[in-house]
Structure 1
Amino acid sequence: MVQAKPRFSSFEEYLSYDDGTDKRYELLNGELIELPPESGENISILSFLHFQLVLLMGHRRVRWGLELEVRGEPKNRYPDLTVIREEHIQQLRPRNTIRLSMQPPLVVIEAVSPGLSNRERDYIDKRKQYQDRGIPEYWLIDPAQATVTVLELTDGIYRELGVFRGEDLIQSSVIQELNLTAQQLLQAGCA
Structure 2
Amino acid sequence: MIAEIDKKPISIDQFLDWYPESSQNGYELRRGVVVEMPKPRGKHSEIAGFLIKCLNSVIDNMQVPYFIPRECIVKISNNTGYEPDVTVIKRPNLGNEPHWEKASVIENGESVALTVEVVSTNWRDDYGLKMTDYESIGIDEYWIVDYLGIGGRRYIGSPKQPTITVCKLVNGEYELQQFRKGDRILSSAFPGLNLIAEQVFAAGIQ
Deviation of 1:148 after TM superposition, in Å, equals 1.1
Asked whether the 8 Å contact 1:69–1:77 carries over to 2, the reply is yes
**Structure 2 unpaired stretches of 5+:** 150-161
Q: Indicate the percent of aligned positions where both proteins have the same amino acid.
A: 28
Partners of 1:122 and 1:143 in 2: CA distance: 13
**Structure 1 unpaired stretches of 5+:** none
Q: 1:37 to 1:4 in 2, by over 3 A?
A: closer
Task: Identify, as 1 or 2, the structure richer in helix.
Answer: 2
- Asked whether 1:49 is paired with 2:55, we answer no
**Partner residue of 2:148?**
144
Aligned with residue 81 of structure 1, among 54, 69, 86: 86
SS of residue in 1 equivalent to 2:190? coil
**Partner residue of 1:16?**
17
Aligned with residue 98 of structure 1, among 86, 106, 113: 106
Q: 1:75 to 1:190 in 2, by over 3 A?
A: same
Superposed CA offset, 1:93-118 (max 9, x none): 33211125x734111101100x3xx1
SS of residue in 2 equivalent to 1:16? helix
**Partner residue of 1:5?**
5
Count of paired positions:
183
Q: 1:68 to 1:178 in 2, by over 3 A?
A: same
Partners of 1:19 and 1:119 in 2: CA distance: 26
Superposed CA offset, 1:108-145 (max 9, x none): 101100x3xx1110000000000001000010111112
Partners of 2:27 and 2:128 in 1: CA distance: 20
Partners of 1:152 and 1:76 in 2: CA distance: 21
Deviation of 1:19 after TM superposition, in Å, equals 3.5
Q: 1:179 to 1:190 in 2, by over 3 A?
A: closer
